[in-house]
Structures are given as C-alpha cells and as structure tokens.
Amino acid sequence: MERATFERELEKILGLAYGYAVRLHGGDRDAAEDLLQEASVSAFRGRDNFMPGTNFKAWFFKILTNAFYRQGGKKELETVSLDADPEPYLYLQAKEAGISASDDPAEVLFNKIDVVEVKNALDNLPSEFREVSALYFTGEMSYEEISETLDIPVGTVRSRLHRARKLLQVALWDLAVSRGIVEAVSYA
Amino acid sequence: MHDMDCREVIKHMAQYLDRELSSEEQQEVQKHLGECGSCANAFRWENSMLVLVKNCAGEELPQGLTTRIFESFDCCE
C-alpha cells in the first residue's frame, strides 16, 4: 500500500482509535498517545500485509490491541460472575425507586450524570470487559468487527458485552444513588 | 414465525438495539414492543443508557497528534 493511501485510511479512524486507546489505558491519555504512536508505526511497517478489500479498521485495531499487550497491558481471566439471564437492570431499579415508567430516562437520570463519571465507569470495568466495551462504545464496531479484532467468537463478544452492560448499569445506578439523583427524582 | 413472550424479547433486547438480529427476529421484537408497554419502557431505558455511554465514551484527538504520527513514518521508509 502506498504511504499516501495508508495515511488517508488511518486518518479516517485515528479519532476512534485514540478513544479506544484511552479506554484501554483506563483514562491515561499520555499512555494512550504512546500506544497509538507505536501501533501506527507498526501498522505502517506492516502495511503490505493488509489485504485490500478487507476491513482496515478491524486490521488496525487488532494491531493496536496487540501493541497494548506488548506494552504490558494485562489480559485478565474472567472473574466477574453475573446472572446469565439478561435483565433490564436500570429500568427495574428505577421502577423500584418509584420513578414512573413513562418518564424520559434521559431527563430523570442519564442527563444528570457527569461525562467524566461515565468515562470512569467504563475505565473501571475489568480489562476483558473493557476491551469489548471500548470497541463497542468508542470504536463504533459491530459484533463481527469486534470478533475479528480480538480473535474471539461472536458469541463471546455478545456475552462479554452483555456482562459489560450489566456492570455499567450497576455502576451508573450506584453513582446516581450516591449523587442523590435518584432520591431527588423519587421524591419530587 | 411465532410470537415472542416478554422473557424472549428481553433476552433479545441488546441485539435488537444493536441491529444484530435477523430481520425476522427484528420484526418479531418490534411487534411485541408495539403491544407491550412494559417491554417498550424497558427498551427505552436500555437504549437511553447506550446513547449516554456512547456519547461519553469518545475522546477528542489531541491537536497535532496526527501530524506527529505521520512524521514518525519518515524513519520507516
């Protein structure tokens, strides 16, 4: 691949890749910048291995993920145990707290949570959930693309995403309670 | 094609919102949501949470980083 073509393709996804790198590093922007730099050079050196017509974004994100592990990022074993059955956790909690089902969830809860605190909730996920959720929330990837990037089956992507979402919902609800957002809504 | 019950619909919630279901399943869920207020509200909450996290998860690319990265390719040619 010509250098100009490579740079053009990379530039299209660099913003998403930086966001993914920040989330992988748990919010550390300097480390994310170093990681992105290393992955970009590595991809540039190996650009002839990219097969035209395939997914450049998934190819590059895989290189980025591998660079993260080379830098010492940990692959943690799954230790979080959650119910296998999906459940609308936040909705059920809200109902329990007396929030009307017909209320706009964004208005009564989500818009009152600070952006930084949502980022922290993502950054505090156990690493195996963080990877999948960062690719999903930050990298704007489909299950298939995440599967390709992490070399895991689509079914594993689905189950990890489910668990990540559940953990995020628990974290966001706890946050809302600790900030008094839920009480304020409940007794308004 | 069969009618999904609430349990099945909730089980398919994430994939429905991510448009990862087959078009037939997508239609079945949609049909149920049109008839079941409780599931429709649960989906609204889930979707609202996803929108929030997606809106917050991204980062702005630091100024000059693209140029610095592209310049670093000079030594590799």
Considering the domain A89-186 in this protein, what is its CATH number? 1.10.10.10
For the stretch A57-61, contacts whose Cβ atoms lie closer than 8 Å and that sit 24 or more positions apart, written own/partner, are A57/A13, A57/A16, A57/A139, A57/A141, A57/A145, A58/A141, A58/A145, A58/A148, A58/A149, A60/A10, A60/A13, A60/A17, A61/A13, A61/A17, A61/A20, A61/A135, A61/A139, A61/A141, A61/A145, A61/A149
Distances (CA, A) of B57 to A72, A114, A140, A145: 23, 12, 10, 18
- Proportion of chain A above pLDDT 90, given as a percent: 57
CATH number for the domain running over A3-70: 1.10.1740.10
The ranges of chain A annotated as CATH 1.10.10.10 are 89-186
In B1-77, which ranges are E strands? none
Where do the CATH 1.10.1740.10 domains begin and end in chain A? 3-70
Any chain A CB within 8 A of the CB of B13?
Answer: yes
* In the predicted structure, residue A108 carries a pLDDT above the cut 50: yes
A44 touches chain B (CB under 8 A): yes
The mean per-residue pLDDT over the stretch A21-49 comes to 95
User: What confidence score (pLDDT) does residue A185 get?
Assistant: 43
pLDDT tens string A112-123:
889 999 999 999
Q: What's the per-residue H, E or C state across A148-166?
A: HHHCCCHHHHHHHHHHHHH
Tokens of A169: 């919902």
Q: How far is A77 from chain B (nearest CA, A)?
A: 24
pLDDT in tens, chain B (77 residues): 467 889 999 989 989 999 999 999 999 999 999 999 999 999 999 999 999 999 999 999 999 999 999 999 998 77
**Residue A87 pLDDT more than 90?**
no
∠ CA A103-A100-B33, rounded to 5°: 70
Closest-CA distance, B58 to chain A, in angstroms, reads: 5
Residues from chain A contacting residue B52 (CB–CB below 8 Å): 106, 110-111, 113, 118, 172
A59, A96, A120, A140, B38 from A10: Cα distances, Å: 11, 47, 27, 15, 44
Cβ of A3 within 8 Å of Cβ of B73? The answer is yes
Residue A154: what pLDDT? 93
pLDDT digits (tens, 9 = 90+) for A134-187: 999 998 899 999 999 999 999 999 999 999 999 999 999 999 888 888 764 443
Residue pLDDT, tens place only, A65-81: 999 988 876 655 454 45
- Pull the structure tokens for residue A70: 């080379």
Residue type, A21: A
Q: Which pLDDT does position A172 carry in this prediction?
A: 92
The radius of gyration of chain A's CA atoms, rounded to the nearest angstrom, is 19
Q: State the ipTM, two decimals.
A: 0.85
